[in-house]
A = this chain, B = another copy of it.
Amino acid sequence: MRVNDLAGYIQAERDRFVADLKEWLAIPSISGDPAHAADVRASADWLVAHLRKQGFPTVETWETGGLPAVFAEWPAEDPDAPAVVVYGHHDVQPVEPLEEWETAPFEPVERGDRLIGRGTSDDKGQIFFHTLGIRALLAASGRQAPPVTVKLLVEGEEESGSVHFADLLRTHRDRLACDAVVISDTTMWAADVPSMCTGMRGLTEAEVTLRGPSTDLHSGSFGGAVPNPLQAMAVLLAALHDADGRVTLPGFYDDVVPLTDEERELFARLPFDEDEWLRTAGDSRAAQGEKGYTTLERIWARPTAEINGMWGGHTGPGGKTIVPRDAHAKISFRLVAGQDPAKVQESFKAWVAEHVPPGVDAEVRTPGGGVRPCFSPIDSPGVAAARRAMERAFGTEVLFTREGGSGPEADLADVLDAPLIFVAVGLNGDRIHAPNEKVEIPLLLKGAEAAAHLWEELATALR
């Protein structure tokens, strides 16, 4: 296969690609709004028909307890070739506030190289480049089938919490058997700084209640002689970090997969403007966190404990001189590769029990099991192969990022027992979840090219 042919094919297909995508984007598949349930179903139907037209031998609608997903499979010619699941979603975010849209959200329009409309970047556009990529690869190489078995899994409930997704994966675990999972639902650093995400942080949450007296007490009659639950809460939560900004739970860092020197060096090469970042961080006036790490390392690759809410005693206007009966706090932990949400929950419960003063009762509730972190090392075969594919498409070095947030992607790695590879061409400026969402069409075409190279690279790397 000659690269020029591949790129040439993709360029030649551009207009048809955009026209087809616009047709799909026009379907308002808002999964969070029950009034749009039929539209999500119409979006799935449209995709099924489209994938069949593209030549996928197997295309199915997969029902869930809620809205449908679409599954399509294009087997490799070689039955021993690796299999890869490509994950994305065809549902979209709501569009409110509608008055802030400069164009109708479900009437996608081109403005120069930009395609504007709900779902252009998150995530229909990014699913779509895979369909173009696979056709381009076949056309340019003269093959009848891709060099790896490609299994497309396009969820319909991602924007409403993926509530049935883990069940769906477990139900179809055999059909989804694979050697790697490609996620195309994130971003790269910048249009001129292509990058790949290598992991997402996990999450676990806890709510702490400290109880003292059975009723609020007069602080004149009792203050200074009985424990104050708010004071106990302040002492407890202050002790959750040490002076170096490290979380003090025993063993909290024991399982953490450390950053490698290479990854730190590659992070450091990202053109990061901390002042600009602080502006996006609600005009925060100082970067602050775990000692010995940069801001990017802190938000991407280091675990945290964060107080999300705290309350107790008199919170209304004026003064009320009481010793309050109880104090409450909501805490969340962001976890990184190697950490187990359940283990952190248990560790936190034990720590709280050990740290409350006499006369204060502590209760720790941990709603849900949390979200597992996911991570694929930069020198793992899948990531290295995807990096080569991206570099061939973009013609420049590809750097690495991670995602500080947490998502259902970890379920994919867990249930399918396969490494994740993040290949995406969205930008942070794409205004996903916001009015005037857009995507850069040239980046979608680069994505198609990278996807085409990816199947070749993975055929070798994962064998």
Binding site for B on A (CB under 8 A): 201, 203, 205, 212-228, 230-231, 233-241, 278, 281-290, 295, 298-299, 302-304, 306-315, 318-325, 327-330, 332, 334, 357-359, 361, 367, 403-406
Contacts and interface: CB of A to CB of B under 8 A. Distances in A.
A358 to B, nearest CB: 4
Contact of A320 (B240, B308, B328): B308
17 contacts: A213-B282, A223-B299, A223-B306, A224-B302, A224-B304, A225-B287, A226-B286, A227-B288, A230-B310, A230-B329, A287-B359, A288-B359, A307-B324, A308-B314, A308-B323, A309-B324, A310-B315
Which 6 residue pairs spanning A and B have beta carbons closest together? A213-B282, A220-B405, A286-B359, A224-B304, A238-B238, A309-B313
Given A215-B282, A285-B358, A307-B228, A406 B220 contact: yes
Given A226-B282, A230-B309, A237-B238, 4 more contacts: A222-B281, A231-B237, A284-B359, A287-B359
B281 A219 contact: no
Given A282-B214, A321-B203, A321-B205, A307 B223 contact: no
B306 A226 contact: no
Contacts of A287: 225-226, 359
A309 B299 contact: no
Contact of A221 (B237, B359, B404): B404
A241 to B, nearest CB: 7
B330 A306 contact: no
B219 A304 contact: yes
A225 B295 contact: yes
Contacts of A330: 313-315, 319-320
Given A225-B298, A284-B226, A403 B238 contact: no
Contacts of A361: 285
Contact of A224 (B212, B235, B334): B334
A313 B309 CA distance: 4
Contacts of A359: 284-288
A310 B312 contact: yes
A304 B217 CA distance: 14
A408 to B, nearest CB: 13
B405 A221 contact: yes
A321 B299 contact: no
Given A287-B226, A321-B203, A359-B288, A328 B315 contact: yes
B308 A332 contact: no
B213 A281 contact: yes
Given A234-B310, A306-B228, A312-B309, A319 B223 contact: no
Contacts of A201: 220
Contact of A234 (B238, B286, B289, B302): B238
Contacts of A218: 405
